[in-house]
Amino acid sequence: MSIDTRDQLLREATRLFAAKGFYGTSIANVADALGLTKQALLHHFGTKEKLYGEVLQLLSSQMVSDIMAARGDPDDPDSQLENALMEMCRNGLKDPERTQLIMRELLDNKQRAEHAGIWYLKPFLEGLIALVKKVPGHEDKSDMQALALVYQLLGAANYFLVSEPTLRQMFGKAQYGEVKDLYLSEFKALIRARLSRPA
């Protein structure tokens, strides 16, 4: 399988898993969308679980890369964390399937969690935890305290990011565009407020 074909396959699998979740997507769905046979797809990935794992690994790598790219000035840890979270939010607006897939994984993972050897988004969370613990006033936080802060901020971002279709339908395209611009400012203000007031 060529790199281009593999990338196309993973993009299509990402789209389907984001739309239907792990349990709602079959190998046959992915194969049909790509014009392949189910057997051809299984030849390259073995099982649906392995294909899904590759999709999550790709997503995790992209998100960790985003953190690294957005860091900016190493002497300004506040702006490093802010930049990383804002970049994640902007990327979520450009690529809503990414956020949908994360949310579906969090919801669907309950049945698989006990048997999962790897949670692919853990490196992304660990990167954000490390950034929190560099911020003045937050250096003494435990990893779990930092994770609680990270989850509060991720929750605020992801709730908005998965709401686009509903908000556009309720308020219209123009008003959604306005609230999207306002939301980015509000999210930045939330990040700054939480970093300036350690619990």
Q: Report the top-level CATH class of 57-196.
A: mainly alpha
Structure-block tokens of residue 15: 């789209």
**pLDDT at residue 43, as a whole number:** 86
pLDDT in tens, 30-71: 989 888 889 988 888 888 989 998 999 999 888 888 888 876
Regions of the chain short of the pLDDT cut 70: 1-3, 71-73, 110-118, 197-199
Question: 90 near 63, Cβ under 8 Å?
Answer: no
**158 near 99, Cβ under 8 Å?**
yes
pLDDT of residue 185: 95
Q: What is the DSSP string of 74-123?
A: TT-HHHHHHHHHHHHHHHHHH-HHHHHHHHHHHHHGGGTTTT-S--TTHH
Give residue limits of the domains in the chain.
Answer: 57-196
Would you state the pLDDT for residue 199? 54
